[in-house]
Amino acid sequence: MKRTVLVFTFLIVVGIMIFANASVQDIIITPTQPSTFTIKVWTGRAAGATYYPGDSINVYFRTSHDAYVTIYDYTTSGQIRVIFPNFFQHDNFVRGNVTYVIPNPNYNYNFTVTGPNGREVIEAIASTNRNVLSQPQLGNGNQLFQEIPDGLGYLQKLKLAIVGKPIAVDTTYFYVGYVPTVGTVYFDSQPKGAQLYVDGVYEGITPLNLQLAEGEHLAVFWYGSMNVSKSFNVAANTYQTVSAMITQPQQPYPQNQTFAINFNTSPSGAMIFVNGQMLGISSCLIDLDYGIYQITIVKPGYSTIVTEITINYAQTFNFSLKSLNF
């Protein structure tokens, strides 16, 4: 008889999905620039499908190249555990274009969904180089799957660790015990034809309509080597538009015209990323040309801020960071 492992645990939600007071930007590992190196993770049902307590569940994944893979399970109670590699499957090296399944049928265990209700997020990350990312500690006989007590802080460090590195990421999610109410979202971009990821899942090319569960979501638009992130909320039975301006306006100033931009954060000591490149630690002055920029502000222990700014004169931006110690 197979051993039943209750890996997937959930937080009760009422009405809308929540993530233990965390922003969706703190949870979702946004994709690096799309390339020929990919990883795909999924369950036996489509992303956003519903499972009920007592259902069996398998997690499948496949990479386009030989790679080293780590898969995280983020619960709505704010817990993170590593489900691959694990006590049963120590080796995280996989062959390209081969579909793997967790639990592996060669081992005597299975996954059974348990309540209470909520939304579960599964995130997979892969690299063709063993040394690009540190490998998680494996559980022992009393810990079949590694628990990560630092939760969101760990994810922040992971996001920083993958910046500029040759990795691939993918996400899937499912609901437990209920079918969420949905709203319709129209996604558009300028220029059109951007690759769209919603909550880490690739959805297609803009423009397009999607039905999404009510609550907070994160969209990432990729066009060439540029990307724009947008967080947004969906209300049940509504229609809304989420759009992104990816190209910068033509320069009305000489090409060598720059402006001194002052970035302040409370507390200070946050890393300031401009269009994905870290250019300073607050408080700091950064010289930027006229245009539109995506700003990401990261400080361990605090919620990540992702926003857009328009630069057309020397100015100061002040940001207040929200502590994750709740």
pLDDT digit string, tens, across residues 304-319: 888 888 888 888 898 9
Average pLDDT over residues 265-269: 91
Higher pLDDT, residue 139 or 154: 154
Q: 288 to each of 122, 163, 307, how far by Cα in Å?
A: 37, 21, 16
Q: Which residues pair with 310 in a beta bridge?
A: 292
pLDDT bracket for residue 3 (50, 70, 90): low
Quick check: is 325 in a domain? no
Quick check: is 311 in a domain? yes
Residue 136 has pLDDT above 90, yes or no: no
Give me the helices (H) in 129-213, please. 151-162
pLDDT bracket for residue 18 (50, 70, 90): very low
Distance of CA 31 to the CA centre of its chain: 7
- Asked whether residue 11 falls in the same domain as residue 131, the answer is yes
Tell me what the pLDDT averaged over the chain comes to: 83
- Compute the distance between CA of residue 279 and CA of residue 32 in angstroms, rounded to an integer: 18
The helix/strand/coil state of 323 is strand
Give every CB contact of residue 307 below 8 A, 6+ residues apart in sequence: 294, 295
Q: Which helix (H) or strand (E) holds 170?
A: strand 167-176
- Compute the distance between CA of residue 50 and CA of residue 46 in angstroms, rounded to an integer: 9
pLDDT bracket for residue 9 (50, 70, 90): very low
Quick check: is 250 in a domain? no
Q: The CATH number of the domain where 296 resides is what?
A: 2.60.40.10
Contact 63, 94 (CB under 8 A): yes
- Asked whether residue 94 falls in the same domain as residue 201, the answer is no
Average pLDDT over residues 137-150: 69
Residue 197 has pLDDT above 80, yes or no: yes
pLDDT bracket for residue 160 (50, 70, 90): confident
The helix/strand/coil state of 200 is coil
- Asked whether residue 24 falls in the same domain as residue 168, the answer is yes
Its pTM stands at 0.73
Higher pLDDT, residue 27 or 249: 27
- Asked whether residue 100 falls in the same domain as residue 186, the answer is no
- Please report the pLDDT score of residue 28 as a whole number: 84
Structural domain count of the chain? 3
